[in-house]
Chains A and B, each alone.
Chain A
Amino acid sequence: MSRSGWRKRLARAAVILPPYAWLAAFFLLPFVIVLRISLSDPASAQPPYRPLFDWTGGWDALMAFLGALDLENFETLASDSLYWEAAISSVTIALVSTVLLLLIGYPVAYGMARAAPRLRPLLVALVILPFWTSFLIRVYAWIAILKPEGLLNQFLLALGLISDPLTILNTPTAVYIGVVYAYLPFMILPLYAALERLDWTLVEAAQDLGSPPWKAFWTVTLPLSLPGVVAGSLLCFIPIVGEFVVPDLLGGSDTLMIGRTLWSEFFSNRDWPLASAVAVVLLLIVVIPIVFYREIEARRWEAR
């Protein structure tokens, strides 16, 4: 290899290696550790799990270490209906919320894409702004609104629409409201990106060829915005499955979600191995849509 060839390789390595090494150390490696601890047993010690691996013990210690690992935590998860329900309820809440987000987000994104071009950057900024405003505060805002003596009930009572305060806080309804509210920007932005790129003369062409507006929407606009629909749905679905803050603040004690389960196993029960096992299960649930999303993104990239 020539001298300039080496120089090029060196430059490449200097660019690629730092972020690569960082992510390998602080993103990839931790997963391996989670997997390993999910196979361990809890212990009242520091750190609170067994077995620990002794680097100085050599081959025998390694074999003893591997022999002490087992699937006991996963058996616990499988046999206890509490965990099953949490997993199923997480996926259900995520699915229903995603559909709700689509139904609410699409008309908004559509309206943004049809607004005058000079207004559009402002509208985008208005969507991004709450997305950058503390997630915690946005969820917290709903506590004051949804409380039995809260602002929503005060409002409805004053209008005379209800005679007794509604119980919304600490119910699944509150969780849905909170999730939809918190994730709405994640849904609007990809939808808008797809709709904004859309060539509106295509819609005109469809109408010119005899489609009434609703049919032109159904046969042209919607299919062409499908990449945005898929991207938005996945961007919402995946984090909602593992959501912790919303169910914790707005849901009742009966609102089971897997992220919350993990949190309480870790912080309240201090059962690190079981929490790790829950993380592994949650990872399996979300990895399927992530792989799916990566495939779609890669295909989009190559199509460019």
Chain B
Amino acid sequence: MARRFTWFNATSLTLGFAFLYLPILLVVLYSFNASQLVTVWGGFSGRWYGALLRNDALREAAWVTLRVAFLSATVATFLGTLAAVALTRYGRFSGRTLFTGMIYAPMVMPEVITGLSLLLLFVAVGLDRGFWTVTIAHTTFTMCFVTVVVQSRLITFDRSLEEAAMDLGATPLRAFLSVTLPLIAPAVAAGFLLAFTLSMDDLVIASFTSGPGATTLPMRIYSQVRLGVTPEINAAATLLIAFVTLGVTAAALLTKRAAQTQARL
């Protein structure tokens, strides 16, 4: 094979990853800065993490965010998995074109549009903005990502396994629950984690659809960032990065295990 890993390849990888990671590393580094001035290094300190703990507004926002993320990711995983099954198993049903359109469009739709349109819907039907409206909004745009993740697994899924289960006397539902679901579980879990992170990350849609008492962490951070960089935000950001890193690593391990099980067959 023409597999020569050239100097050009090595350089582009190094520069590319440096570009991707340097800014994040700087945020992490400066969260341990003792100085009040964000761009001057004043020694190593954990004081901003202490300040963070005492910041009730941020803590409360984090709690709202976690609740929204968990609830919306759960519903999104359920709906998204159903949608993935519908797309891979049911061939051409009436309205399929519209359905696939509605699955793909939210993923690329500018967030300002999704946010504004959902808000206008909530106002039109007289739903008070708050925790539930943010949760509904997040479910809507994250379920599409779940669908894509689960769908890509279902496409490579050997359908004869389900047929074998039915041939041995399992009803379609039992076949799905006892054979298909355990085997696609890693993809479903990965979809859940993706939905969870996307929800935790979202600023724009939450800003439109949230109301009093349901300020999410990104919204809180945004309003502080507009006033300038503070070491406290650096600390919050670092915690968020650590959280996501853990999540992504878990998801990667899950998919890796799934791929290995598949590869051994």
Contacts and interface: CB of A to CB of B under 8 A. Distances in A.
Contacts of A130: 20-21, 24
A207 B2 CA distance: 10
A107 to B, nearest CB: 4
A18 B79 contact: yes
A65 interface: no
Interface in B12-39: 12-13, 16-17, 19-21, 23-24, 26-27, 30, 38-39
B263 interface: no
A91 to B, nearest CB: 13
A157 B91 CA distance: 63
B1 A297 contact: no
A132 interface: yes
B112 A23 contact: no
A132 B197 contact: yes
Interface string B212-223: 000000100110
Contact of A266 (B93, B116, B256): B116
B120 A34 contact: yes
Nearest to A16: B86
Nearest to B221: A136
Interface string B95-125: 1001111111110111111101110110110
B85 A15 contact: yes
Contacts of B79: 18-19, 22
A269 B203 CA distance: 20
Contact of A33 (B113, B120, B143, B249): B120
Nearest to A34: B117
Contact of B248 (A112, A129, A151): A129
Contact of A184 (B20, B27, B78, B80): B20
A135 B207 CA distance: 15
A114 B16 contact: no
A56 to B, nearest CB: 15
Contacts of A18: 78-79, 82
The size bracket of the interface on B is 35 or more
B108 A235 contact: yes
A200 B21 CA distance: 30
A182 to B, nearest CB: 10
A74 interface: no
Chain B interface, >50% SS class = helix
A219 to B, nearest CB: 14
A31 B99 CA distance: 15
Contacts of B100: 294
Interface string B192-235: 00100100110110011000000000100110011001000100
Contacts of B106: 23, 27
A11 interface: yes
Contacts of B121: 26, 29-30, 33
Contacts of B17: 108, 126
Given A22-B143, A114-B6, A121-B252, 16 more contacts: A19-B147, A20-B102, A24-B102, A26-B118, A28-B98, A30-B117, A37-B120, A134-B200, A137-B221, A138-B24, A141-B26, A149-B39, A150-B39, A238-B108, A249-B225, A282-B110
27 contacts: A12-B86, A18-B82, A19-B147, A20-B83, A22-B139, A22-B140, A23-B140, A24-B102, A29-B121, A34-B116, A107-B12, A108-B16, A111-B9, A129-B245, A132-B244, A137-B27, A140-B27, A140-B225, A203-B2, A204-B2, A238-B110, A267-B207, A275-B116, A276-B120, A282-B110, A293-B104, A294-B104
Closest 4 CB pairs of A and B: A242-B110, A30-B117, A108-B16, A107-B12
